[in-house]
């Protein structure tokens, strides 16, 4: 369909969750000096002006990053994430918001490699412009699902794969599972982070069921909801499913999710889930 543009949603509660988790995982991987590979299946533009017409139209950032901007009691992991957003803004004012590629490029080192996939031609051009001159980064205009599978296993044998489509098409719920299974068969030790929206609960339940039956071990789920499930409301929350999560991740999310559920919730209806989808045998 190719109608989705992330600029309308930049900095919302889903971005907060996704990028908080991404930062934590990348910080963990960077504790070792060995090179690693970061692969983004749907990289989008890489950064967004919150003063643009698109961002202002829905102003979703007002119920996301804006609510954290002036807080002085953030858990350490949230404070780290917010500091990175502040560095992207280069001022005390919140006027722009970085995408996943920027967070990754900021945290990763000179020896690391980043593969950014984006199907939209305009967004791909924006990505290329944003990271021109950075030899670590390869921007690929094309299908991110096939791109992820084709890159496995990375030569570094260490890395993180972020899979975060828009789910414009219902079949994408099945497609993300197929991508995960095929990539994991080729590179079983990598960290995989799958984002999903909370729109129709039954789709998420099916997704979890398939992963439980997949034979993959060490799968953790982290979900943030800003209001109660409501199929007429739109996206009431979002979640991240992580394969091979860092041992540091659970502790950080145990601190962050209750805080986010309280501060980003709509009329006190916030909630969160932390669940082991599949443990380690």
Whether the per-residue pLDDT at 33 is higher than 80: the answer is yes
Looking up tokens 């932390």 gives 274
Cα–Cα distance, 173 to 153 (Å, whole number) = 23
Whether the per-residue pLDDT at 66 is higher than 90: the answer is yes
Partner residues linked to 161 by β-bridges: 39, 192
Domains in the chain, number: 1
Catalytic site includes residue 40? no
Coil, strand or helix: which one is 151? Answer: helix
Lowest-confidence pick of 29-33, 179-183, 254-258, 267-271 = 267-271
> Which residues span the domain enclosing 70?
6-278
Strands 219-225 and 271-278, bridge-based pairing: antiparallel
The mean pLDDT value of the chain amounts to 95
**Residue 13 belongs to what H/E stretch?**
helix 13-29
Q: pLDDT of 149-206, one tens digit each?
A: 999 999 999 999 999 998 988 889 999 999 999 999 999 999 999 999 999 899 999 9
**What 8-state DSSP symbol labels residue 94?**
-
Burial of 1 (0-12, 13-18, 19+ CB in 10 A): exposed
- pTM, entire model: 0.96
> Which CATH number covers residue 76?
3.40.50.150
* Residue in 164, 229, 250, 266 annotated catalytic: 164
Residue 1 included in any domain: no
Cα–Cα distance, 176 to 183 (Å, whole number) = 10
Cis status of the peptide bond prior to 153, with omega within 30 of 0: yes
pLDDT of residue 237: 96
Q: pLDDT of 102-134, one tens digit each?
A: 999 999 999 999 999 999 999 999 999 999 999
Tokens of 248: 């540091």
């Amino acid at each position: 369909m190719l109608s989705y543009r992330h600029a309308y949603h930049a900095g919302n509660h889903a971005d907060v969750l996704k990028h908080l988790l991404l930062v934590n995982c990348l910080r963990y991987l960077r504790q070792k000096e060995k090179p690693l590979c970061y692969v983004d299946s749907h990289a989008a533009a890489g950064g967004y002006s919150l003063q643009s017409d698109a961002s202002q139209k829905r102003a979703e950032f007002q119920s996301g990053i804006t609510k954290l901007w002036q807080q002085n009691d953030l858990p350490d992991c949230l404070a780290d994430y917010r500091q990175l957003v502040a560095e992207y803004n280069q001022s005390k004012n919140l006027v722009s918001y970085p995408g996943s590629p920027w967070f990754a490029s900021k945290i990763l080192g000179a020896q690391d490699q980043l593969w950014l996939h984006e199907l939209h031609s305009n967004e791909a051009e924006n990505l290329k412009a944003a990271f021109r001159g950075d030899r670590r980064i390869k921007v690929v205009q094309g299908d991110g699902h096939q791109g992820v599978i084709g890159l496995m296993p990375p030569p570094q044998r260490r890395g993180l794969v972020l899979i975060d489509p828009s789910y414009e098409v219902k079949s994408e719920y099945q497609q993300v599972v197929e991508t995960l299974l095929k990539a994991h068969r080729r590179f079983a030790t990598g960290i995989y982070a799958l984002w999903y929206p909370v729109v129709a609960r039954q789709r998420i339940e099916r997704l979890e069921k398939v992963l439980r039956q997949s034979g993959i071990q060490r799968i953790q789920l982290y979900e943030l909801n800003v209001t109660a499930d409501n199929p007429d409301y739109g996206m009431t929350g979002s979640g991240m499913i992580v394969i091979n999560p860092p041992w540091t991740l659970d502790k950080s999310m145990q601190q962050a999710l209750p805080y986010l559920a309280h501060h980003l919730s709509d009329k006190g209806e916030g909630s969160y889930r932390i669940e082991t989808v599949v443990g380690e045998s």
